[in-house]
Amino acid sequence: MKFFLKINLSKENSIPVVQQVLKLLDEEKHEYMLCCDDRLGDLVTRDRCAVSAHEGIRWCDVIITIGGDGTLLGVGQTAADYNKPVFGINTGHLGFLTAIEGNQLDLLKSISDNKSFTVKKHHFIQAKINDGPWYYCLNDVVISKNIYSNTVELLLQSNGNQIMGFAGDGVIIATSTGSTAYSLSVGGPIVDSDLQAMIISPVAPHSLNRTSIVMGADKHIKISASDRYNNKAYIVFDGAMHQEISETDIISVQVSEKYVSIYTLGNFGQFEKVDKKLKSR
């Protein structure tokens, strides 16, 4: 098999894990390329090519990410575009999306036998501002107040009908995959990642009866945000890219047909991961 390794070198224990992974791949006679990063140093040799993410993902059979969920999210859209599955190794904090921990690397030997791991489809949500381009998010889209604002006024409609209106710090529209991320921290429900759904979770609503809503894949959501002092709000895509929005902008959000395939260990499900990783917090 051919593997492309995308590594988050800001994690202190990533390099030792990379060294072990490369040794294992060599022993198993697999081909591989590494992400291009000057910090890889001696890990890059004549036989270990360092290439761009697009080049490596286009070439490989499987993408291996070494880091946390953010590292996996960073390759998600390109992996989906090239129909390449992602195998995550967690060297971060929680790692809900990753298949194994850094101390479970021996399990990587069985990746090609299709017995130890399950590959699951995780659908994106897509969002756009007015008639602009679609942005694809595996976890969530967040609309938040300006740092100088007290609150932002939000109006949400679905298929032409108002579903929610409130003042607060913002709103999260999460995928079922992203229901264990930011949405969970504001009291949103954990939704089975096998479901194609959107979870709408208000952030610090100035209201006594504003709770999360779970919407089906056939719903199209329209959102407007305004501020009494005419400050601009922000929209954030998967916690990485953000853009200012004004009160005249309309945000469209819906479940996408695009998906990324992600390895999970055996039948170790989403709810078991949540129980294991969060029960001590």
Q: Which is the catalytic residue, given 26, 38, 69, 81?
A: 69
* Residue 69 bears catalytic tag: yes
Q: How far apart are CA 125 and CA 76, in angstroms?
A: 12
Catalytic residue numbers read 69
